[in-house]
Structure 1
Amino acid sequence: MTADTPIHTPAHIPAHTPARISPLADWDPRLPSGLDARELPFLTQLTLRVTPGGAAATAVEGYLGYALPGVGRAHLDAEVKTLWLGPDEWLLVGPAGRAGELTAGLRSVIGEEFATVTDTSAQRTVLALSGPLLPEVLSQGCALDLSPDKTDAGACHTTLLAQAGVTLVVREAGPRAVWLLVRSSFAGYLAAWLADACTEYAGVT
């Protein structure tokens, strides 16, 4: 085996990685004091397809340190959170910049068992919403029953909000805090709808 020849970047080509721009980089919403909204850009998002209860699922659960959540649920008490999306599909959400590490780790423990791990971080962005006005605002564009007894912490729904597909994760019961995971191409539309839905609450404290 011969030593690899070092590769030198020509002086006229920038060596740094191009800056990433989030879908809502310029978003500056004017919302009533009863609602707070911010984007959580660039979170690591991995789509996991695996048969529940199988050897691969068991290996993944050992790697994560907890059981994969069941129907309509999310596991939120960990750095890498897991959202149920379908009978054999979950979305793992972690800190920015960890896609490579987590993908390699998961594929390593899965080994020859049948499962897929796909980096889908660029597909969606995350809106974090909180405040006492949250249920009223969301109910203007969402058909889900958002009454307190139906929205306990950890509930996870794939639904429509203002006709845009979202995954709604209840972070605090009520709901007083949620994550909205939305396709990057629909993020601007959803942000504009949110601001418009809040118009009637201007001046509410």
Structure 2
Amino acid sequence: MADTALSVPRRSPLSGAADRLAAATRASGGAVRLAELPFLAQVNVRLDAKGAAADAIALALGLPLPLEPNTVVRAGELTALWLGPDEWLVVGPPGTQQDVESRIRAAAGAEPVAVTDVSAQRTTLLVAGPRARDLLAHGCPLDLHPRAFGAGRCAQTTLARAQIVLVARDEPGTGFWVLVRSSFAGYLADWLLDAAAEYV
């Protein structure tokens, strides 16, 4: 019997916008840097933060789940985002979602924990450069001043009316991650390109 399965190469939601994002970055002279970070592993975790599973999962992943609202913990290649009192998003390099999910499940054992691979749900836009905060402030209702939303902070919010998870990265010069649903990625990229024209 002939194998009829077709191997379809993965396409990121913003594969068609990569050249325009790079051109805007060049045109701004580095004032803003825009790029897609496609296919990041994203695993949603729901559990009792005071239960036995939380410590076991932290040990298995090599990073504790943040307990302070709207904060981020990073260790090695993994980043954990606080989304709610019993909800986190663990973000890792592309292709690691199965490993992350299996490590969490194994560490949780019989404890009541919900683990869901949501990697295909969102893509990630990088917004960096000296004017990154100004650019985001055009369409985000949060106070993005470093005193209010500094490195290591995250929030579920909106940008240009699109629901996003915004992450202020803690490495020097790395700017922000904007995690947006794949279906809104093109719209948001167009909005960012339009708003970035001010800095060209």
Superimposed CA distance per residue, residues 149-187 of structure 1 (whole angstroms, 9 cap, x where no aligned partner): 122211011111000111110014898601000000000
1:93 pairs, out of 91, 96, 119, with 91
Structure 1 residues 58-137: aligned runs within 5 Å: 58-69=55-66, 70-137=68-135
In the alignment of these two chains, the number of paired residues is: 192
Q: Does 1:185 align with 2:183?
A: yes
Supply the RMSD in Å over aligned alpha carbons: 1.8
Q: Secondary structure at the match of 1:181?
A: strand
State whether residues 147 and 174 of structure 1, in contact with CA within 8 Å, keep that contact through their aligned partners in structure 2.
no
Q: Which runs of 5+ in 2 are unaligned?
A: none
Letter in 2 for 1:35: V
Q: Does 1:39 align with 2:39?
A: no
1-structure distance, mates of 2:143, 2:181:
23
What's the offset of the Cα at 1:12? 5.0
2-structure distance, mates of 1:94, 1:201:
31
169-178 vs 128-137, which moves further: 169-178
TM-score (norm 1): 0.87
Bigger radius of gyration, 1 or 2?
Answer: 1
Name 2:196's counterpart in structure 1.
198
State whether residues 61 and 103 of structure 2, in contact with CA within 8 Å, keep that contact through their aligned partners in structure 1.
no
90-99 vs 28-37, which moves further: 28-37
Name 2:145's counterpart in structure 1.
147
Name 1:13's counterpart in structure 2.
4
TM-score (norm 2): 0.90
Superimposed CA distance per residue, residues 57-116 of structure 1 (whole angstroms, 9 cap, x where no aligned partner): 111111122221121101123211111111100001111112222211211111110011
Letter in 1 for 2:112: F
What's the offset of the Cα at 1:11? 3.8
What's the offset of the Cα at 1:199? 1.8
156-165 vs 92-101, which moves further: 92-101
State whether residues 148 and 175 of structure 1, in contact with CA within 8 Å, keep that contact through their aligned partners in structure 2.
no
1:162/1:135 CA distance change after superposition, 3 Å: same
122-131 vs 146-155, which moves further: 146-155
Q: Secondary structure at the match of 1:149?
A: coil
Moved over 6 A (4+): 173-176
State whether residues 72 and 156 of structure 1, in contact with CA within 8 Å, keep that contact through their aligned partners in structure 2.
yes
68-77 vs 116-125, which moves further: 68-77
Letter in 2 for 1:98: T
2-structure distance, mates of 1:19, 1:78:
29
> What fraction of aligned residue pairs are identical, expressed as a percent?
44
1:84/1:171 CA distance change after superposition, 3 Å: same
